Structure 1
């Protein structure tokens, strides 16, 4: 027997898994942050003074990425969320597992006109982006990342699932994104 949603509260079904009400989270995250500027920064992470890894992080309103504790991006999840609504896990650990970074609930993405809204349930924030700006940031990051990798083939890509995104090798393919 499943319990149903009432008001703005979440319910637990018979097998004890949580089911989240969209209204609950919308009310919880009422104050939206309208993002004026977004970019994706490709970080070269160094260990022992040498470049070891290439990682992508989101930069919002020119706030610098925190290199000591970055919110790594899963570029595959981000690319899919640029055109689809639903629940995604764009934040991840360097190992590629969102839960390892404490990301268990994900980001609910919706699209309206030229606005993309993220209800980030793990970080308790609501972000509203220009869809065009977010797509452009993604394209620019892929091109820049591919250029960085061409200059230093010894860099490892972190998380691993970003490797396929950087291997997009034609502007034609990128323009379809």
Structure 2
């Protein structure tokens, strides 16, 4: 009741007393943000970000490397080449590596490349050693030593590291989802 007139005071309506209406919405938003995700959803998010997503990305990168190798050597030609020397490469985190420089003939030209995998050792294959070479017929400058690890080693390495993360993350996501 109004003390002066005896009538009931009208109910308060937001925005009629000079305060902005958004002040009320902000407090509701603040209350909504204060609500914490349930433990189940926090665990799912954690397993997704820490295990599943990195595993998925590394397996996808591994498959991309595999496809790139297959594309590079789809019209491949195999021949014999010779290791002429070893180039010393300094890698900041890997230390020093010695990568074989291989020369081979195709048609009327001589071609030379440095093996990127660097898995040959100077003791096992000294300069002058014959090696199998695979190269792209349309572009002989795209070449590699014709061995499984030289062609697919990087892809295999990345995939072997990523697959357990992908599988573990997927299993944990499913397990948390079921419970």
If the length of structure 2 is used for normalisation, what is the TM-score? 0.25
Bigger helix fraction:
2
Bigger strand fraction:
1
Larger Rg: 2
- Bigger RCO (CA 8 Å, 6+ sep): 2
